[in-house]
């Protein structure tokens, strides 16, 4: 905004106008008044009574299989075209805050988004493979989570926390060592209406958990060994997500102990429903969240989103699923079932207003629909 004002003031400077006498003086004061008016508007925009926000999993479009490169579920041209459409839609929406997951490659696309949308950004690589100076296998995979904010909000990265995965190794922009799934949370702050807000972006473990209930059909399909395996598998997945949530809340408590925040926003792809046991403590600490979902609409919807259906073409990582048609069927049933897994939680001052999905459900740009809303000042 300052840059635009400087350009405008130079274009209307007395020197450029080349007029003499009273006209010169009059035009000078007219241009000065116009600049002052624009300054007032700029200040108003930087201190709004509401913040427009979005949480969106961008989808890397890869199958997570391979050593040199991961296999593609879409062509490179399709991926780049989809990213360009996403940017075009983001420009039209003019969000104040963005919480993005599966940003791949993390550094270049975060930087590109910030430059094109004229936002500040902070990010954290969360699944990366092996990288030395940012280069290494898988060569087409260096994914992560990003927060972007209007420049007037003075976005600052506070920390990033590894939530789960092997204790050996980590993901970074330049050096990484990862041989199995990692999960992270990214913590940042903004200044809004002379108050500090804490922002948290995360992407939790993705496998089928206890929110996928047992059923008579399942009982009849599985042998006793298969049922025992599937129950243990679901328990393990749910327990991992719960432990990831516990780590987020622990880090939040530590940050809140040293700094007072008027509001705390926790957003991301939680890969589980808000009613799940894994999110019980989040619901206790964050009483306000969306989507409120009165019409039972969901952000993960393979029935309506062709990109989500493509993403479900992945194979389960555990070979037990691949060797059992019954287990494979249940795994596919879970991943093909529409679910409400992209969420935004609020704690502290203000309230959240659900603004629906991004983009419209007829124009998907990812395997997830983004969820957009407003933080209203009270």
The CATH number of the domain holding residue 141 is 3.60.10.10
Does residue 47 form part of some domain? no
Residues 21 and 158 both lie in one domain: no
CB 128 within 8 Å of CB 145: no
Q: Are residues 301 and 321 in the same domain?
A: yes
Q: Which has the closest alpha carbon to 244: 270, 266, 267?
A: 270
122 and 258 share one domain: yes
Question: Rounded to whole angstroms, what are the CA distances from 368 to 127, 184, 202, 359, 363?
Answer: 18, 19, 15, 10, 11
Please indicate, yes or no, whether residues 17 and 87 belong to a single structural domain of this protein. no
Q: Tell me, yes or no, whether 128 and 29 share the same domain.
A: no
Shared domain for 253 and 292, answered yes or no, is yes
Cβ neighbours for 133, distance < 8 A, ≥ 6 positions apart: 174, 175
48 in a domain, yes or no?
no
The number of folded domains in the chain is 2
- Tell me, yes or no, whether 28 and 146 share the same domain: no
Predicted TM-score (pTM) of this structure = 0.86
Tell me, yes or no, whether 323 and 349 share the same domain: yes
Residues 6+ apart with CB under 8 A from 257: none
Instruction: Per-residue pLDDT tens, the chain, 378 aa: give them.
Output: 444 443 444 444 434 445 455 555 555 554 555 444 444 444 444 446 899 999 999 999 999 889 999 999 999 999 999 999 999 999 999 999 999 999 999 999 999 999 999 999 999 999 999 999 999 999 999 999 999 999 999 999 999 999 999 989 999 999 999 999 999 999 999 999 899 999 999 999 988 887 776 665 666 778 888 888 888 999 999 999 999 999 999 999 999 999 999 999 999 999 998 888 899 999 999 988 887 655 567 899 998 899 998 887 666 777 788 788 888 888 888 888 888 999 999 999 999 998 889 987 778 999 999 999 999 976
Q: Do 80 and 100 sit in the same domain of this protein?
A: yes
> What is the extent of the structural domain holding 30?
2-42
On whether both 9 and 134 belong to a single domain, the answer is no
Q: Is residue 121 part of a domain?
A: yes
* Domain presence at residue 372: yes
Do 83 and 28 lie in one domain? The reply is no
For residues 107 and 249, membership in a common domain is answered with yes
């Amino acid at each position: 905004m300052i840059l635009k004002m400087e350009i405008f003031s130079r274009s209307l400077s007395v020197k450029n106008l080349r007029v003499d006498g009273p006209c010169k003086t009059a035009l000078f004061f007219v241009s000065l008044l116009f600049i002052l008016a624009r300054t007032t508007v700029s200040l108003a925009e930087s201190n709004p009574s509401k913040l427009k926000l979005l949480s969106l999993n961008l989808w890397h479009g890869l199958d997570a299989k391979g050593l040199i490169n991961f296999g593609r579920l879409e062509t490179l041209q399709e991926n780049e075209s989809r990213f360009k459409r996403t940017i075009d839609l983001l420009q039209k929406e003019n969000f104040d805050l963005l919480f993005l997951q599966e940003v791949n490659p993390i550094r270049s696309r975060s930087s590109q988004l910030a430059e094109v949308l004229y936002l500040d950004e902070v990010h954290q690589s969360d699944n990366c493979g092996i990288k030395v100076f940012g280069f290494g296998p898988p060569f087409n995979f260096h994914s992560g989570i990003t927060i972007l904010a209007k420049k007037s909000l003075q976005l600052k990265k506070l920390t990033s926390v590894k939530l789960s995965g092997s204790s050996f190794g980590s993901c970074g922009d330049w050096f990484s060592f990862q041989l199995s799934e990692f999960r992270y949370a990214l913590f940042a702050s903004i200044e809004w209406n002379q108050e500090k807000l804490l922002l948290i972006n995360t992407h939790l473990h993705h496998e089928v958990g206890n929110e996928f209930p047992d059923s008579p059909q399942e009982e009849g399909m599985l042998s006793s060994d298969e049922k025992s395996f599937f129950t243990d598998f679901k328990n393990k997945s749910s327990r991992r997500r719960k432990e990831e949530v516990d780590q987020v809340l622990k880090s939040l408590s530590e940050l809140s102990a040293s700094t007072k925040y008027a509001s705390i926003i926790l957003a991301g792809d939680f890969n589980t429903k808000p009613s799940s046991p894994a999110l019980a403590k989040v619901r206790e600490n964050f009483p306000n969240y969306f989507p409120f979902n009165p019409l039972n609409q969901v952000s993960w919807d393979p029935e309506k989103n062709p990109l989500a259906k493509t993403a479900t073409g992945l194979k389960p990582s555990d070979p037990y699923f691949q060797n059992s048609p019954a287990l494979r069927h249940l795994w596919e049933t879970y991943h093909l079932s529409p679910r409400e897994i992209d969420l935004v939680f609020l704690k502290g001052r203000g309230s959240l207003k659900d603004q629906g999905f991004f983009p419209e459900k007829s124009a998907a740009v990812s395997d997830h629909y983004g969820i957009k809303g407003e933080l209203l000042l009270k």
